[in-house]
């Protein structure tokens, strides 16, 4: 069945293209705006094909980090020949900082690929199904390992058993079911709010687990800001999908599973960061997302996707369930810097069926 689905950004979202733009070469900036230079248009305005000397001067200015001065001296309004987005970075680092660019089509329109949405749904889906089996698999592996006196070999038996299970479980389900789900791209072409933000890693301090440690290494990313929305087409072959997994008969049952997955991980994150000094703004963000999940109707769900989702959202916390250990996965998170004392999570979107 064909469904129209609305996607709304609940936080900043970055789905990267793999392209990076370098300060002073590919972009210039003011306090409020980033300008990604269109060098072809600038070259045409300079008429460099007929003036190789001027082309050489331009190249030298780029290498010397004085491209903006070159434009000023030659009366070139580079902003006129640039694609501009908001600048939420207070200070770029001194060493040739680069911006990770988001996905755009040939028209320059920002979009979230259907493959990225499907991948995030697939993760939530498998993680929730896997948790029903993982404890039994782990117990059998441990029982088998107890027969091996060598501790290293015993651990190896458990690891190999779990790897074999994961390969069979995830491989079989993806082959049998997800070919019945097809998702189109979501194009944000109605004046989307796009900005470049500053992100860092946050984790618990080695000095004390009650303190947050903020990494000094900054990464810059082009993102869709919160409160953006678009729509995409979701084609779901209910008959084919439910034949393999009878538990899921329609999109609404899938949305419920996604919400269960997101809520469980948000709750575990709240428990993890509770009472950690320096992570207070994360509590507020997580509370907000938790509230959005609670408010969902049966035709809505909250999904986490894109860059900086964090390993636990990518894997569904499977490794933690295997080891029954909240410290099994390093709790590093790439977060957005809002100011000196507050931060924000990345990658949360809300999906809503529009054809009910």
Higher model confidence: residue 186 or residue 209? 186
Across all residues in the chain, what is the average pLDDT? 83
What is the tens place of the pLDDT at every residue in 118-136? 888 887 877 777 776 777 7
Q: Where are the domains of the chain?
A: 2-14+112-132+181-353, 24-59+78-88
Higher model confidence: residue 218 or residue 43? 43
Higher model confidence: residue 325 or residue 207? 207
Question: Could you tell me the pLDDT band of residue 23, with boundaries at 50, 70 and 90?
Answer: very high
Mean pLDDT of 262-278: 86
What is the tens place of the pLDDT at every residue in 293-328? 999 999 999 999 865 555 455 455 555 555 545 454
Q: Give the pTM.
A: 0.83
Question: Could you tell me the pLDDT band of residue 331, with boundaries at 50, 70 and 90?
Answer: very low
Listed in sequence order, the residues at least 6 apart from 112 whose beta carbon sits closer than 8 Å to its beta carbon are 7, 13, 15, 103, 185, 186, 188, 224, 230, 232, 305, 306, 349
Mean pLDDT of 28-37: 94
Mean pLDDT of 78-86: 94
């Amino acid at each position: 069945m064909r469904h129209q689905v609305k996607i709304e950004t609940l936080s900043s979202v970055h789905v990267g293209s793999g392209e990076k733009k370098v300060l002073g070469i590919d972009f210039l900036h003011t306090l409020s705006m980033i300008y990604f230079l269109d060098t072809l248009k600038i070259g045409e305005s300079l008429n460099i094909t007929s003036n190789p000397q001027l082309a050489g001067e331009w190249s030298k200015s780029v290498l010397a980090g004085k491209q903006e001065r070159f434009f000023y001296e030659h009366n070139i309004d580079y902003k006129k020949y640039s694609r501009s987005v908001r600048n939420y970075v207070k200070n770029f680092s001194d060493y040739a900082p680069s911006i990770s660019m988001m996905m755009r089509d040939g028209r320059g329109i920002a979009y979230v690929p259907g493959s990225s949405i499907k991948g995030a749904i697939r993760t939530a889906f498998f993680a929730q199904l896997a948790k029903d089996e993982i404890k039994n698999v782990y117990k059998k592996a441990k029982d088998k390992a107890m027969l091996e006196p060598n501790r290293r070999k015993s651990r190896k038996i458990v690891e190999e058993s779990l790897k074999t299970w994961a390969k069979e479980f995830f491989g079989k389900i993806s082959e049998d079911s997800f070919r019945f789900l097809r998702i189109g791209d979501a194009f944000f072409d109605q004046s989307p709010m796009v900005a470049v933000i500053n992100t860092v890693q946050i984790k618990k301090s080695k000095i004390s687990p009650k303190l947050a440690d903020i990494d000094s290494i900054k990464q810059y990313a082009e993102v869709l800001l919160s409160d953006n929305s678009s729509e995409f087409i979701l084609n779901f072959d209910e008959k084919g999908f439910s034949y393999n997994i009878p538990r899921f008969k329609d999109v609404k049952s899938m949305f419920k599973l996604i919400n269960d997955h997101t809520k469980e991980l948000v709750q575990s994150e709240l428990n993890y960061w509770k009472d950690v000094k320096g992570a207070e703004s994360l509590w507020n963000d997580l509370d907000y997302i938790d509230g959005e999940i609670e408010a969902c109707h049966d035709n809505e769900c909250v999904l986490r996707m894109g860059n900086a989702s964090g390993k636990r959202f990518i894997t569904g916390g499977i490794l933690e369930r295997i080891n029954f250990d909240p410290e099994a996965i390093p709790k590093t998170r790439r977060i957005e810097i809002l100011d000196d004392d507050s931060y924000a999570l990345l990658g949360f979107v809300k999906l809503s069926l529009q054809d009910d």
